[in-house]
Structure 1
Amino acid sequence: MARSKKRRKIFIIAAIAAVLAMAGVAVVFLRPKSAIAVQSGEVSRHSLTNLVVADGLIEPVVQVTISPEVSGEIVDLPVHEGQQVTNGDLLVRINPDVYVAAVKQAQAGYESALASRSSAEADLEKAEADYKRNEELFKSKLLSESDFIGFRAARDVAKAQLESAGDQVEVAKALVDSAKEQLARTTIVSPITGTITRLNSEVGERVLGTVQNVGTEIMTISDLRQIEAQVNVGEMDVVKIKRGQKARL
Structure 2
Amino acid sequence: MLAREQLRRLDFIRTADPEPRPSGGTRLPEGGSLVLSNVSYSYSKQSQALLSDVNLEILPGDFVAIVGASGAGKTTLLKVILGLLGSTEGQVTYDGIPVGAFDPREWRKLFSSVLQDDIVFTGSVADNIAMFDPSLDMGRVMKAAKMAQIHEDVESLPMGYRSNLAEGLDSLSAGQRQRILIARALYKDPAVLIFDEGTANVDSETEARIAEAISCLKMTRIVVAHRSTLVDSADRVFSLSNGRLVRIR
Which entry has the higher C-alpha Rg, 1 or 2? Answer: 1
TM-score, normalization by structure 1: 0.19
TM-score by length of 2: 0.19
Q: Which has the higher helix share?
A: 1
Q: Which has the higher contact order (CA 8 A, sep 6+)?
A: 1
